[in-house]
Amino acid sequence: MSEKSEQLYEENQVYYVDSDTLPPQALARKHRLEQDPSSRTDHMAYMPGMEIIDSDVKDKVVAAMNDFDYSVYTARDVERALSHERCSIEDFKALLSPAAAPFLERMARRAELETRNHFGNTVYIFTPIYIANYCQNYCIYCGFNCYNNIRRKRLSFEEIEHEMKVIAATGMEEILMLTGESRTYSDIAYIGEAVKIARRYFRNIGIEIYPCNTDEYRYLHECGVDYVTVFQETYNSDKYETLHLLGHKRVWPYRFDAQERALRAGMRGAGFSALLGLDDFRKDAFASALHVWYLNRKYPHAELSLSCPRLRPIINNDRINPRDVGEKELCQVLCAYRIFLPYVGITVSSRESKSFRDGIAKICATKVSAGVSTGIGDHEEKYGGDESGDAGDEQFEISDSRSIGAMYADMERGGLQPVLNDYIYV
């Protein structure tokens, strides 16, 4: 191993988990993938069947990200950025820098103003539903990864219909349908049928599945989907390579262009994010926002949104790590997003705590999830206390378990107008 790959191997140690049930051959391959970079495929090369589109957005975002040195910004730059009526890219860099930390309250005030001007007092509520957790990728930090021994499940159409009924009965109108990234177990036809079922129970349907080709997105759009979310995880492709060791997801550029393919296929909107904390979060936040910014210029009609999933800092780790995203850092990133991109939706998931979500909704979030289960087929269990089922395991644990009713009431109490639907399929 080279010095650099050794360092990355060390950095990633915390994620490696060997399941007891793996056959020796599989375990050997897993270890080889982890330890020997030469055993892994070229993450920048498209696999067969992956569509290549003509777009320069990737190059522009990467060049700008590489050029971003947040250590050069000072309090004066932050002051200047906040005094500008419109936030330039340079201003945005200052707002993301450590120099902006003491300005958090002022940033929040400005962000609040931008949010109210653009979105009024509205906050949208949605719920995710996982319909399958099979995955053919080895992403070392993810609970669904193919080497992890979890209960795998793919809902049948009857089960999907049942889950939809249970969720719809709570009054929810917007649903985000998710799968693990397996083209074998959750192929496009399966997802398309699931979407058609969802159309009978929900007004607004989004998907968060593996990246697809344009024709596949077009088909899913015809089935009733209008919003596509794909998280890039990290915009640093070198780091990405050390985290996504196996499977389609390994191909970084194909993932990057997913939103653009979805928009070309007629989707109304697209969602973006890095998984903050995988790599240097300031650079990833910068790249995420710039990705949105460039696509807005290219597809001005598209409704674009940012999410903010993060890895929590590891406790007892006293070394200051540029990857660590605490609540203050997350708040800074979200305020900077809002000031730079006043028109963009910001979604805050139930991975964040109740107090954080209540607070951030007053500043800049425009969408929150409620009634969340990240397991497969366990909504009845979660909503009704029926624990007889054989639900599939969860991708991650959630922090804010509020029901739709509780979320609705809390948002109203906070002076906001919760909205369950503001969308029409045409």
Partner 1 sequence: MEDKLILGGHEFTSRFILGSGKYNLKLIQAAVEQGGAEIITLALRRANTRESENILDFIPKGVTLLPNTSGARNADEAVRIARLSREMGCGDFVKVEIMHDAKYLLPDNYETVKATEVLAKEGFIVLPYMYPDLNVARDLQNAGAAAVMPLAAPIGSNQGLATKAFIQILIDEIDLPIIVDAGIGKPSQACEAMEMGAAAIMANTAIATAGDVPAMAAAFRKAIEAGRSAYLTGMGRVLARGGSASDPLTGFLR
Binding site for partner 1 (CB under 8 A): 116-122, 171, 173, 203, 296, 300-304, 343, 412, 417-424, 426
**Closer of 147 and 217 to partner 1 (Cβ):** 217
Residue with tokens 């089935």: 223
**Closer of 301 and 319 to partner 1 (Cβ):** 301
Q: How far apart are CA 101 and CA 99, in angstroms?
A: 6
**Closer of 23 and 300 to partner 1 (Cβ):** 300
**Closer of 235 and 340 to partner 1 (Cβ):** 340
Give me the least distance between CB of 106 and partner 1, in Å please: 19
Give me the least distance between CB of 24 and partner 1, in Å please: 53
Say how far residue 23 (Cα) sits from the centre of its chain. Answer: 32
Give me the least distance between CB of 203 and partner 1, in Å please: 6
**Closer of 100 and 411 to partner 1 (Cβ):** 411
Angle (CA) 341 345 178, round 5°: 135
Give me the least distance between CB of 418 and partner 1, in Å please: 8
**Closer of 135 and 419 to partner 1 (Cβ):** 419
Long-range CB contacts (within 8 A, 24+) of 353-358:
353/399, 353/400, 354/399, 354/400, 354/402, 354/410, 356/327, 356/330, 356/331, 357/400, 358/410, 358/414
Q: What is the dihedral of CA 29, 34, 37, 41, to 10 degrees?
A: 60
Give me the least distance between CB of 115 and partner 1, in Å please: 10
Give me the least distance between CB of 374 and partner 1, in Å please: 25
List, in order, residues 6 or more apart from 14 with CB less than 8 Å away: 314
Residue with tokens 């807005």: 296
Tell me the one-letter amino acid at 252: W
- Three-state secondary-structure class, residue 209: coil
